[in-house]
């Protein structure tokens, strides 16, 4: 792709029909590091390390493909149930990633945001996440959303709790509760819903990721494991997205091939 025909970012909500613009928001379930390693007789940690390299490639490719918001599912609230050694390896990789890459991401004008629960994180991890957010707060390039210690049900529960408290205290009329108000109480409040959700590793499930936000997302389930994900795979997923007919429950005009 030459610089002259780079797709332009758009902040317009996608219209029904075949998308003309690149997806505004791509969200990725980066899965299959363990199986990638096992297939090569390597420790799982090596799969996670290679996963971080694939993540760097995905960030670059997102920018080149004209994606405005990229959400990466890095650690789920359910992932704490893994053996302590693996959890500690994953925490260490996040520490390393922020320490090594933050300056470069900042230089590339990337804005970092973190979604997920913060209360039970190791204090130094929380500090690094906050540092990444504050350092890059004013950046205007790719919006990188890191879903860390994230669970969609927990996110919805916490939104419902805050809405209920507002109603109890008389600050909110329950009749005013609508979908927009619920969206505004999620961690993703000012991020548009994902247009495209990609999952690697061949699993056909959501695993507690962006349940509310992906109501009308398009999905791409790829057979490859996450360490093998590259720009070509990203391009193919985006090309597939751009061949879909998004109907949002309606009917397209006959000339659009509905
Ligand atoms: C994805 O790879 C990374 C995280 C969930 C943190 P996995 O570790 O889930 O690898 P598989 O799915 O077991 O192969
Ligand atoms: C989803 O992958 C979570 C992340 C990619 C961070 P998992 O490997 O945890 O999901 P399941 O257990 O296969 O559903
Ligand atoms: Mg997995």
Q: Could you report the per-residue pLDDT of 133-155, keeping only the tens digit for each? A: 999 999 999 999 999 999 999 99
**For residue 10, is it within any domain?**
no
The reply to whether 117 falls in a domain is yes
For residue 63, tell me if it sits in a domain.
Answer: yes
Among residues 5, 31, 89, 187, which one is catalytic?
A: 31
89-133 confidence digits (pLDDT tens): 999 999 999 999 999 999 999 999 999 999 999 999 999 999 999
Question: The tokens of 127 are what?
Answer: 């500090």
Q: Specify the CATH number for the domain of residue 103.
A: 3.40.1180.10
- Domain assignment present for residue 250? The answer is no
Domain that holds residue 102: 25-151+193-242
Residues 159, 164: Cα–Cα separation, whole Å = 9
The CB-side HSE value for 210 (13 A sphere, CA atoms) comes to 33
How far apart are the C-alpha atoms of 69 and 9, rounded to whole Å? 10
Query: Are the C-beta atoms of 80 and 37 separated by less than 8 Å?
Result: no
DSSP conformation class of 23: P
For residue 170, tell me if it sits in a domain. no
Among protein residues, the one whose CA lies closest to atom 12 of ligand 2: 207
In a domain, 44, yes or no: yes
Q: Given the structure tokens 């390896």, which residue do they identify?
A: 89
Atom number of ligand 2 nearest to Cα 226: 5
Number of domains in the chain: 1
169 part of a folded domain: no
Query: Rounded to 10 degrees, what is the CA torsion of 187, 191, 196, 199?
Result: -30
Separation of CA 32 and ligand 3 centre (Å): 5
Q: Which residues contact 181 (CB under 8 A, 6 or more apart)?
A: 163
pLDDT of residue 211: 98
In a domain, 160, yes or no: no
Does residue 5 register a pLDDT over 80? no
Q: Atom of ligand 2 at shortest distance to CA of 205?
A: 14
């Amino acid at each position: 792709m030459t610089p002259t025909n780079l797709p332009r970012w758009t902040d317009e909500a996608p219209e029904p029909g075949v998308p003309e613009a690149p997806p505004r928001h791509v969200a990725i379930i980066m899965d299959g590091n363990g199986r990638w390693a096992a297939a090569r007789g390597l420790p799982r940690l090596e799969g996670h390390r290679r996963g971080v390299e694939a993540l760097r490639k995905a960030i670059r490719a997102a920018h080149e493909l004209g994606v405005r918001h990229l959400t990466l599912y890095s650690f789920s609230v359910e992932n704490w149930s893994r053996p302590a050694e693996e959890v500690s390896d994953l925490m260490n990789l996040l520490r390393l990633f922020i320490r090594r890459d933050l300056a470069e991401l900042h230089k590339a004008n990337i804005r970092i945001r973190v979604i997920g629960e913060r209360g039970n994180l190791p204090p130094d991890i929380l500090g690094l996440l906050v540092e990444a957010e504050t350092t890059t707060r004013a950046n205007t390039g790719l919006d990188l959303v890191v879903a860390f210690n994230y669970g969609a049900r927990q996110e919805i529960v916490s939104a419902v709790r805050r809405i209920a408290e507002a109603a109890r205290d008389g600050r909110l009329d329950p009749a005013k509760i609508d979908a927009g108000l619920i969206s505004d109480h999620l961690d993703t409040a000012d991020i548009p819903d994902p247009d495209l959700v990609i999952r690697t590793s061949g699993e056909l499930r959501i695993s507690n990721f962006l349940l509310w936000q992906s109501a009308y997302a398009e999905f791409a389930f790829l057979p490859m494991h996450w360490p093998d994900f590259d720009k070509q795979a990203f391009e193919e997923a985006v090309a597939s997205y751009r061949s879909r007919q998004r109907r949002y429950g309606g009917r397209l005009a006959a000339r659009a091939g509905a």
